[in-house]
Chain A
Amino acid sequence: MDTNKILVAIDGSENSKRAVEYVADIVKGCRDFEITLLHIERLPDRDVFPEEDAWKKECVAHRLKIESFLSENKKMMAEYSIPEKMVSTDYMESCDSPLAGEPSYCSRGTSIARDILHVAEKGHFDTVVIGRRGVSKAEEFMFGSVSNKIIHSGRDCTIWVVQ
């Protein structure tokens, strides 16, 4: 049987934590799967900070927070008896990050959904999992909805939206 590759997109929120727990609960005891916990970096907008240093400090704080979140969720998977080797993490840097190295692909900051689907396609993932915030119709219009965009644009993969 082929290995089922599962991509779980997380943003550091409680909703994304629930998505990770849901996946862990579903796959526990299963064989032939791989899980990747993916974060698309969303840095605070440079324009809203008067000083460059204050912005960089915030960028560092954001990265530390997310790295810790990724690591905690990976550990949490182990509590569901999911072997560590089945779980990996991926942190896609923002193209504007002052901390960026020279990534082969970076996020341009115009669509998280597109970045997630890019990773899913390039990595040949079978399943994409995402948490859902539950926004109003007006909020969806103004701010956009990552989960809705993934549902509408995702191709050649199964999509799980965890409420």
Chain B
Amino acid sequence: MSESVKQILNRFQSDAYMGRQGRVYTDTSDFMRITGGDVIVFGDGHYLVLRDEVERSYGVEDPKYWVKRCRHLESGERRLLKLVFYEKFFLRMGDIKITCYRSPRKEARILDLVRGDSRFMQGFSAEDEKGNTIRVLDVVKGKRLDNWIYGLDVDHKTYFFSYLPQILEKFIGACEAIAYLHAKGEKHGDIRRDHLWRETRSGDYVWIDFDYTFDFHENPFGLDVFGLGGLLLYIVGKGFYSQKDIIRIFGDEKQAPDMEPGDFLLVFKNRLANLQKIFPYIPKELNWVLMHFSASASVYYETVDEFLSELRPCLKNMG
């Protein structure tokens, strides 16, 4: 007869756990039923489920029922378990609708590819008794990079001269990590602000979440390059700036510099790309890189290497 949760917890001397003692799951297909107090058993491991992961956006918590915050009972370490959830959904970027998919298979493959590479979240995959590919992820101990930058309590000019050179250097390292994936025929698939974290102890930047994929044929890495451009814009600007924000910065509309549609991003038309107009100390070379993502651009970066070949000299000039 298989063990109960109580027996398992006793065996691992997990006396700190005082909550609900639920069921033991060896088949994770019905992940909605698995909740705090249950134990998931697969491979050589026992994982006590603490709760479902949640995504926080604009103060609203959106539960991700297929991602479980767990304690690995053998080691006592915290782990995230991503259970199999196939999802097709539409991502809207400005006027463009992109069909995206969630692929456990892709994420499992990338975890193997980047094992030991601290630029990426670490983990491994294993199958449960029904052949579901579960991804076991180490928890990144840190903060989202954008939140960390936002939280730096300095004005933009101080930020630009005192913090940005170090941040940009690390960001270039993060871009090189994405170039590495592309060279191996893989894409991150969902490069956005909440998927680049800053590890507290080392200060290193770590990419997370590789399970998104999409079916672009001519420009398979285009969305990743676009995502890097958006991140760079946030990093250089210490935030995004809409027309309203610009007026707020300058006090009133008359004081604010004239803006044209070409000064804003090509896809998100309310985000200023031409940051030099509001922060004139931004060097023209760096601004030029940002302008490649603007509505006035006539050439685009097709690869991360092209993007980096113009971004690296900007860092040198800032030193």
Q: Which of A42, A47, A144 contacts B103 (CB 8 A)?
A: A47
Name the residue on B nearest A113 (C-beta).
Answer: B218
B153: interface (CB < 8 Å): no
A122: interface (CB < 8 Å): no
- Secondary structure class of chain A's binding surface, majority of residues: helix
CB under 8 Å from chain A, chain B span 214-271: 214-220, 222-223, 226, 266-267
Q: Which of B98, B106, B217, B223 contacts A109 (CB 8 A)?
A: B217
A146: interface (CB < 8 Å): yes
Name the residue on A nearest B109 (C-beta).
Answer: A47
B16: interface (CB < 8 Å): no
Stretch at the interface among A20-28, A70-78, A81-89, A135-143: A135-143
A48: interface (CB < 8 Å): yes
Q: Render B83-105 as a binary contact track against A, CB cut-off 8 A, 1 for contact.
A: 01010100001111010010101
CB under 8 Å from chain B, chain A span 122-163: 136-146, 149
Q: Is the CB of A142 within 8 A of B217?
A: no
- Secondary structure class of chain B's binding surface, majority of residues: loop
> Which A residues lie within 8 Å of B223 (CB)?
142
CB under 8 Å from chain A, chain B span 281-319: 295, 297, 300, 302
How many Å lie between the Cα of A93 and that of B105 in the bound state? 23
Given A139-B96, A142-B267, residue A48 in contact with residue B219 (CB < 8 A):
no
Q: Is the CB of A47 within 8 A of B267?
A: no
> Which B residues lie within 8 Å of A110 (CB)?
185, 220
Q: Render A31-56 as a binary contact track against B, CB cut-off 8 A, 1 for contact.
A: 00000000000101111101000000
Given A48-B103, A142-B226, residue A136 in contact with residue B219 (CB < 8 A):
no
> Which A residues lie within 8 Å of B219 (CB)?
142-144
CB distance from A95 to the nearest CB of B (A): 10
Given A47-B106, A48-B101, A146-B218, residue A141 in contact with residue B213 (CB < 8 A):
no
Given A48-B103, A145-B218, A149-B218, residue A136 in contact with residue B86 (CB < 8 A):
no
Given A47-B101, A109-B217, residue A138 in contact with residue B300 (CB < 8 A):
no
How many Å lie between the Cα of A95 and that of B217 in the bound state? 14
Interface centre among A48, A50, A139 (most CB of B within 10 A): A48
CB distance from B69 to the nearest CB of A (A): 25
Q: Is the CB of B215 within 8 A of A144?
A: no
Name the residue on B nearest A139 (C-beta).
Answer: B96
Name the residue on B nearest A107 (C-beta).
Answer: B217
Q: Is the CB of B218 within 8 A of A144?
A: yes
CB distance from A105 to the nearest CB of B (A): 18
Name the residue on A nearest B99 (C-beta).
Answer: A48
Q: Is the CB of B222 within 8 A of A112?
A: no
A111: interface (CB < 8 Å): yes
List residues of B whose CB falls within 8 A of some A CB. Answer: 84, 86, 88, 93-96, 98, 101, 103, 105-106, 185, 213-220, 222-223, 226, 266-267, 295, 297, 300, 302
List residues of A whose CB falls within 8 A of some B CB. Answer: 42, 44-48, 50, 108-113, 136-146, 149
